[in-house]
Amino acid sequence: MFVHETSVRVLYADTDKAGVVYYGTYLRFFEKGRTEYFRALGKSYADFEKTGILLTVVEAHARYHAPGRYDDRLVIRSWITRLTRTRIEFACDILNEAGEKLCEGTTLLGCIGIDTMRPTPLPEEMTALIKDKVVAKKEEG
Amino acid sequence: MFVHETSVRVLYADTDKAGVVYYGTYLRFFEKGRTEYFRALGKSYADFEKTGILLTVVEAHARYHAPGRYDDRLVIRSWITRLTRTRIEFACDILNEAGEKLCEGTTLLGCIGIDTMRPTPLPEEMTALIKDKVVAKKEEG
Amino acid sequence: MFVHETSVRVLYADTDKAGVVYYGTYLRFFEKGRTEYFRALGKSYADFEKTGILLTVVEAHARYHAPGRYDDRLVIRSWITRLTRTRIEFACDILNEAGEKLCEGTTLLGCIGIDTMRPTPLPEEMTALIKDKVVAKKEEG
Amino acid sequence: MFVHETSVRVLYADTDKAGVVYYGTYLRFFEKGRTEYFRALGKSYADFEKTGILLTVVEAHARYHAPGRYDDRLVIRSWITRLTRTRIEFACDILNEAGEKLCEGTTLLGCIGIDTMRPTPLPEEMTALIKDKVVAKKEEG
């Protein structure tokens, strides 16, 4: 099982007038998690794009457990829960420094050919990198 | 059945380098839909906040069907799908001017007392306004 | 003298933990002002882009006078202060409903050819539309 | 002379449909620079806030030299150019990994008492930390 971990520091820009991280900001943090996941495997998502594909978000889900606060250094844990010929599902947990889970989510990505803008199989190199890293069941929340 | 409709014009700020609306931006559009929903019923969400409550997002879900484009005037359709003593679930469809559904989502809101920051019943005035507007089943996507 | 006016409602997404509009959000509002300025003249900026040009921001400046608040309906006033062969300078005032000026700014735009990504003269049609609308001196703040 | 350096990786969320970093996003990067500047001096801005003050942005200026790209690791260089009893001016350069300057800016911050929301002198501890770090003239762009 492969769970990738990166972190992000909460800016004023990420918060809202309730004094906490805005609910939409977590999708930004999920994106950061996915991007760094690929980089950690040895090939950046940006490099995969150069081969003529895009991963577009087909579905996103987030459950909010506790508020994130300004200047918190949040931990972003990302792992892959599903892999098909054209799709990847990522799960993501966002924790604060005390280890409290603030938010958990999933994003389902579909592979698209840049030329055709139509669904296309994931690049073989990508599939090879991640196929043994799929975690069948999402961790218990 | 009460479905509220408002619109938003897509800015550069809302798009990303794929040339389309960023997946996180739709949560901003959902927020706009919810806010205008309350205003259309006669009392703004901001006014409800002044009575000492907050509606915090407990869960959010989005399914992306087709890309939103720069300068599109998007239609935001919002309705309530569930109502309990402390929670409201909103559904939202985002359509382009041609009537094509780009994104559909739900957000579950929980009522919090500003003083205690603990769950608290929805204000009676809010419940009275919306209780006959709940749509039991989400429209077919 | 031509001053264009549009408005925007402040969302939670636009605010930060100080309870006011985030300083970066005003650049989003400036963008909205510029876009609607062109639309009001009869040809949208998006349509100009289709002729093969981009207007990129070369310089931006903002002075913040008073805080914008959640759910305020802000007025965005935009006008052109300078016009050269390849550049347009916009000025922008953001006011609240009480008419109080919250923020004033300028953005200098440079015309770029999409093919070459190099500076290029503004489209003749654009220059024709705006040349008699330039306000030589910025209004006193 | 004290110039602080931190970095940020450009996300899809930071870009726009022109394929480059959105002009408003740089104000987010400036914010990150200012925050990490204080942390590097030994006391975080968040800790200063706990003493009852806020630094609000009075003025912001940005000049854009070259586009920032997706997945670039940008360098954020921050330094203080002016210090008065109630105000601090920060300058900021944003460079790409090749060392090319993409954007330079300044932000003028004013100290506000949280209780009164009126201008108030900077905390003595803050002034003590930064008074010998002011760079009289901004570097040549």
In this predicted model, what pLDDT tens digit does every residue of B98-133 receive, in sequence order?
A: 999 999 999 999 999 999 999 999 999 999 999 999
Given a cut of 90, whether residue B1 has pLDDT beyond it is no
- List of chains touching A (3+ CB pairs within 8 A): B, C, D
- Report pLDDT digits (tens) over C99-130: 999 999 999 999 999 999 999 999 999 999 99
CA dist A90 and A31 (Å) reads 10
| Contact (Cβ atoms closer than 8 angstroms) between residue D110 and residue D58 | yes
Provide the residue count of chain D: 141
The answer to whether the predicted template modeling score (pTM) of the entire model surpasses 0.90 is: yes
**Over chain C, what is the mean pLDDT?**
95
Tell me the pairing of strands A87-95 and B87-95: unpaired
Cα dihedral across residues D6, A107, A99, A138: positive or negative: negative
Residues 6+ apart with CB under 8 A from C68: C10, C14, C20, C21, C25, C26, C74, C94, C96, C102, C103
Instruction: Give the chain B residue nearest D70 (alpha carbons).
Output: B17
Residues 6+ apart with CB under 8 A from B81: B89, B90, B91, B106, B134, B135, B136, B137, B138
B46 CB near a chain C CB, below 8 Å?
yes
Q: Do A35 and D11 touch (CB under 8 A)?
A: yes
**Could you give the angle at the alpha carbon of A116 between the alpha carbons of A115 and A119, nearest 5°?**
120
Closest to A19 measured CA to CA, from D90, B73, B56, C71:
B56
Which candidate from B13, B35, B45 shows the least CB-CB separation from C31?
Answer: B13
- Report pLDDT digits (tens) over B12-61: 999 999 999 999 999 999 999 999 999 999 999 999 999 999 999 999 99
At A136 the pLDDT is 72
User: Which residues face B122 on adjacent strands?
Assistant: none
Element (H, E) at B124: helix B124-130
User: Which residues face B37 on adjacent strands?
Assistant: none
Provide the residue count of chain B: 141
CA dist C37 and C18 (Å) reads 31
Optimal mutation site among B28, B57, B58, B109, interface A, most CBs of chain A within 10 A: B57
- Contact list in D for residue A15 (CB cut-off 8 A) is none
Q: What mean pLDDT comes out for the span D55-78?
A: 98
- Contact list in B for residue A23 (CB cut-off 8 A) is 27, 57, 60, 107
A141 pLDDT band (50/70/90 cuts)? very low
At D140 the pLDDT is 45
B83-86 contacts at long range (C-beta below 8 A, 24 or more positions apart): B83/B122, B83/B127, B83/B130, B83/B131, B83/B134, B85/B121, B85/B122, B86/B110, B86/B111, B86/B119, B86/B120, B86/B121, B86/B122
ipTM value > 0.90: yes
End-to-end CA distance of chain A: 17
C73 CB near a chain B CB, below 8 Å?
no
Q: Residue D89: phi, psi to the nearest 5?
A: -110, 125
- What DSSP state is assigned to residue A33? H
Given a cut of 80, whether residue B138 has pLDDT beyond it is no
Q: What mean pLDDT comes out for the span B79-99?
A: 97
